[in-house]
Amino acid sequence: MSKFIPLSVPNLKGNELKYVTKAVETEWVSTGGPYVNDFEKNVAEYVKAKGAVSCQNGTSGLHIALLLCGVTRDDEVIVPTLTFIAAVNPVRYIGAEPIFMDCDDSLTMDADKLDEFCREECILIDGKLISHKTNKHIKVVLVVHVFGNMADMERIMQIAKQYNLIVVEDATEAIGTYYTKGKYNGKFAGTIGTIGVFSFNGNKIITTGGGGMIVSEDKELLKKAKHLTTQAKSDELYYTHDEIGYNYRMTNLQAALGLAQLEQLEGFIKTKEENYNLYRNKIQEIKGLTILDFRADIRSNHWFYALHCDENYPLSRDEIIRYLALKGIQSRPIWGLINDQEPYIGSQVYKIEKAKYFWERVVNIPCSTNLTKKDALYVIECLKNAV
Ligand SMILES: *Cc1c(COP(=O)(O)O)cnc(C)c1O
């Protein structure tokens, strides 16, 4: 068989089979099973949050998060343009409108531009941030911790406070990332804003096949999250419902996988970091290529590696992807900017510059936790020998 090195695939060599088997043997496969509560508890403990509420996936978690913030169809939400579209679609599920913000060199939301936008394009009236252009209330800023890097939460939280914005953290890519310095030293991605959301999709650092988790420091919010994700039942026996709920709770089968994956997360991060350092050190010797850094004041989970190519490298972004594919190596460009996607053409944008720059120059290269050193070295060799 010819060589194939995938971009990012699951690694299920721990207790996955054992726990899933137990779920099947006990016939607890639905949302009622005990593993769901255990997984919630363990995730909350791991990220040092007050509590956690499971969901079917990260997207449904973000949907619930925005509902919990009170976002309605009359509101607007500030979002990044350089991210996966699942971060933004929940805004539209509610009928609200996004305002697209640029990234900085960390690939996460540019705090300077966020500040400038709030100051120059909006006005605070009765504690509400109102857009000059649309007269609408901007209630939430949704921050994404891209590739396992941390957005500049210190600045963003301070700006949010000043302009009365609720902060939702899309930490779907960043479970395990935490600050090691500064005001938020020891704080995990997802636990700094009002609500954080994780994803356990198949390509994330740990997976439940599909799955997600909402975390918060606010017990009331968590209670409401559980209520909304379980059909908003106000009485279990008589099936009375006090609002429109959702069938978003995780199943016991998913949670069984999750428990086994969480046991291995620190080991996965270690592997990701080692492979990252190997790539980074060798690739910086190749003219025109670099691997983008993670912030210096965090312990990143090193989920995805961003290969940056400039005009000194003989191949363009698309040529790199085609060339690597011929060598049996899967890679992909960073996401197309969300404000360029069909459903968002004409949406509000604010000074998008860097996102466009990185979109043209960044390629993600294999980063699975079961990537061997030998395979990583092969990827590096191919990049070195490309002409
Ligand atoms: C994966 C991801 C999501 C969605 O998570 P799912 O579990 O796939 O629904 C949302 N936002 C970002 C940035 C993601 O990478």
> Which of 66, 170, 335 has most ligand 1 atoms within 8 Å of its beta carbon, as the pocket-test mutant?
170
Q: Which amino acid is at 105?
A: D
**72 CA from centroid of ligand 1 (Å):** 22
CATH architecture classification, 16-261: 3-Layer(aba) Sandwich (3.40)
Please list every protein residue whose CB sits less than 6 Å from any atom of ligand 1: 57-59, 83-84, 86-87, 144, 170, 172-173, 199, 201, 212
User: What's the confidence (pLDDT) of residue 280?
Assistant: 97
User: Quick check: helix, strand or coil at residue 100?
Assistant: strand
Helix (H) or strand (E) holding 162: helix 153-162
Nearest CA to ligand 1 atom 6: 58
How many angstroms separate the CA atoms of 190 and 169, rounded?
5
Cβ atoms 196, 189 nearer than 8 A: yes
Which residue from 304, 309, 301 is spatially nearest to 261, judged by alpha carbons? 301
> For residue 217, is pLDDT > 80?
yes
How many angstroms separate the CA atoms of 122 and 109, rounded?
18
Cβ atoms 111, 131 nearer than 8 A: no
User: What's the confidence (pLDDT) of residue 236?
Assistant: 84
CATH architecture classification, 264-385: Alpha-Beta Complex (3.90)
**86 CA from centroid of ligand 1 (Å):** 5
First to last CA, the chain: 26
Q: Which two tokens stand for residue 229?
A: 């994700």
Helix (H) or strand (E) holding 43: helix 34-46
pLDDT digits (tens, 9 = 90+) for 202-212: 999 999 999 99
Residue 201 CA, closest ligand 1 atom number: 7
**124 CA from centroid of ligand 1 (Å):** 32
Cβ atoms 205, 272 nearer than 8 A: yes
Helix (H) or strand (E) holding 79: strand 75-80
- Mean pLDDT over 277-296 rounds to 97
16-25 vs 252-283: helix crossing angle, rounded to 10:
170
Nearest CA to ligand 1 atom 11: 87
Cβ atoms 139, 69 nearer than 8 A: yes
User: What's the confidence (pLDDT) of residue 137?
Assistant: 98
Judge if 16-261 and 264-385 fold alike in CATH terms: no
Cβ atoms 337, 183 nearer than 8 A: no
**Cα 344 from chain centre:** 20
For the beta sheet containing 305-309, the strands, ordered from the edge strand earlier in sequence to the opposite edge, are 289-291, 305-309, 362-365, 332-333
Which residue from 1, 5, 16 is spatially nearest to 260, judged by alpha carbons? 16
**59 CA from centroid of ligand 1 (Å):** 6
User: What's the confidence (pLDDT) of residue 3?
Assistant: 85
**84 CA from centroid of ligand 1 (Å):** 7
Nearest CA to ligand 1 atom 13: 84
Cα dihedral sign for 224, 228, 229, 234? positive
pLDDT digits (tens, 9 = 90+) for 76-94: 999 999 999 999 999 999 9
**Residue 165 pLDDT grade (very low, low, confident, very high; cuts 50, 70, 90):** very high
Q: Which amino acid is at 300?
A: S
> Which of 83, 103, 146, 199 has most ligand 1 atoms within 8 Å of its beta carbon, as the pocket-test mutant?
199
Mean pLDDT of the chain: 97
Nearest CA to ligand 1 atom 2: 172
From residue 366, alpha-carbon distances to 206, 212, 240, 363, 371 in Å are: 16, 23, 49, 10, 7
**33 CA from centroid of ligand 1 (Å):** 25
Cβ atoms 326, 167 nearer than 8 A: no
The β-bridge partners of 387 are none
User: What's the confidence (pLDDT) of residue 2?
Assistant: 75
- Mean pLDDT over 151-162 rounds to 98
> For residue 198, is pLDDT > 70?
yes
How many angstroms separate the CA atoms of 272 and 370, rounded?
9
Taking the domains of the chain in order of start, what are their residue ranges?
16-261, 264-385
Which residue from 75, 101, 74, 105 is spatially nearest to 87, judged by alpha carbons? 101
> For the whole prediction, is pTM greater than 0.85?
yes
Q: Which two tokens stand for residue 278?
A: 């190997």
> For residue 237, is pLDDT > 90?
no
Q: Maximum Cα–Cα distance for the chain, whole Å? A: 70
pLDDT digits (tens, 9 = 90+) for 125-140: 999 999 999 999 999 9
pLDDT digits (tens, 9 = 90+) for 31-70: 999 999 999 999 999 999 999 999 999 999 999 999 999 9
pLDDT digits (tens, 9 = 90+) for 297-317: 999 999 999 999 999 999 999
> For residue 1, is pLDDT > 80?
no
Cβ atoms 160, 166 nearer than 8 A: yes
> Which of 66, 103, 172 has most ligand 1 atoms within 8 Å of its beta carbon, as the pocket-test mutant?
172
Residue 60 CA, closest ligand 1 atom number: 9
